[in-house]
Amino acid sequence: MLAGIFLVAICVIVVAQIIARQMETIIPSADQFAGFCLAATSFLGLAYSFRSGSHIRVTLFTQALKGFAARMFVVIALAVATAISSLLAWETLKMVGQNAARGEVTSGLIPIPLWLPQLGMAVGVTLFAIAIAEDLVCAVMGRTTAFEQHELNDSEPDSPDKAPTNQ
């Protein structure tokens, strides 16, 4: 939901800047604010996209493997992804904390404490790491992961009471 709010904020900023230019003025740091909103939108949407099966996955190996080998491949991939995303989350949170402690500000016309726009990235990547870790636990326990469940739902034929999806 936050990713959507920041996406709407980008639209509002761009429209406001267009109107301001038509009135021969500018909105100070509008491009910078739109950039901050874009970063927040991108990172805050990661966990939801992962959980809903929207991330691109290369299933070449998992489709070729069956049974235990396929499950182990998924577990290893999720373990690596958990490690990488957790490290990124830790370092991002550390960066936000350091910038807040130092009182760093942005370099635009309107100085903003740097930790504020970085916070969206930190929260988003942390939620992403948690979502991957949750699926890792599911995979290790032999349960269906969130992205596998969405793949199963997408591969099921439409029932007669469902509206056609490809028109």
Handedness of CA 13, 55, 135, 129 (dihedral sign): negative
76 compared with 167, residue with greater pLDDT:
76
DSSP 8-state symbol, 162: S
Q: Tell me: the pLDDT tens digits for 71-115?
A: 898 899 999 999 999 999 999 999 999 999 999 999 888 899 999
SS3 assignment, position 101: helix
What are the sequence ranges of the domains in the chain?
A: 2-154
Would you say 128 and 47 are in contact if contact means Cβ atoms under 8 Å apart?
Answer: yes
Has this prediction a pTM greater than 0.75? yes
SS3 assignment, position 113: strand
Would you say 55 and 147 are in contact if contact means Cβ atoms under 8 Å apart?
Answer: yes
Q: Tell me: the pLDDT tens digits for 118-144?
A: 999 999 999 999 999 999 999 999 898
